Amino acid sequence: MKYLFDNLPEIKAQIEKAGGAALLFDFDGVLSAIAPTPEDAIITDEYAGLLKKCAAKMPVAIITGRRMYDIKKKIDTKSVLYLAGHGLEWEEDGKDHVKEIPKETMEAIRLAEEKVKPLLERYPGMILENKSFTIAVHYRLMKPELAPVFIEEVESILRPFAKDHKLRLDHSIKTFELRPEVGWDKGDSVLFATEHFQERTGKNSAPIYIGDSQTDEDAFAALEKSGITIRINSSENENIKSAAKWYMKNQKEVGQFMKWLLAF
């Protein structure tokens, strides 16, 4: 990856060649700083204002692992395309849409949730989040000395479920996430959003995707040839290997980049 702000002329040339830009964001760690708990994550007034200004100038989408009602509670901007649950649910023309997920898949995820629940009593700082289609196990608040054993135990519980029930398990930024493997992820979501914007505007644009975690790698890979892919390389992500072409040093640089886009 190359540092984004050392290569802005190249970014500008790609946007101009495409005839414009479409902005696609993850939420946590991108529009919101990483927070101690999922509930604590917020978008600041500054970023909310920049997001609205960007949405008035170019197509904007939010692609997140959060639930639809949750992300819309966090971001109150109607002129944005929302894709939640990694794209398993989305809002289009004011209507909510949901991907069909096999009943046995959801039953496996619920059973996996029950299997990890007992860990809550033994590992202070663990958070178990039910996100409708997925479950997430967070350990950001856990004492560092407990983390290695905790990680090993969570892996021993969830890996077999992922293997036996065609589920996907991701581990990134002190979070495990178990979700359906139904042939749809953030990579499919960014392609869907790009096509949606082209149909609505009648114009081509360079899709710009900004993410910070392992689940965003699907989006980076999907836009490898056609887009501008940016990973936030925070201290927790040092020495990562990524399909993204560019990187930012921290979440604060997202705002700087939005200001740069609005200025040219």
What's residue 251's pLDDT? 95
What letter would DSSP give residue 56? Answer: H
Question: What is each CA distance from 206 to 188, 197, 229, in whole angstroms?
Answer: 16, 11, 10
Q: pLDDT tens, 12-53?
A: 999 999 999 999 999 999 999 988 998 999 999 999 999 999
Helix and strand counts by DSSP (H, E) for the chain: 9, 13
Q: Which pTM was predicted?
A: 0.89
Residue 228 and residue 215: Cα distance in Å, rounded? 17
Class at the top of the CATH hierarchy for domain 2-99+186-263: alpha beta
Annotated domain spans of the chain: 2-99+186-263, 103-180
Mean pLDDT of 188-213: 92
Residues 175-193 have pLDDT tens digits of 999 999 877 889 999 999 9
Secondary structure string (H, E, C) spanning 159-207: HHHHHHCCEEEEECCCEEEEEECCCCCHHHHHHHHHHHHHHHHCCCCEE
The fourth-level CATH superfamily of domain 103-180 is Trehalose-6-phosphate phosphatase related protein; domain 2 (3.30.70.1020)
What percent of the chain is modeled with pLDDT above 70? 98
Dihedral sign for Cα atoms in the order 168, 178, 246, 61: positive
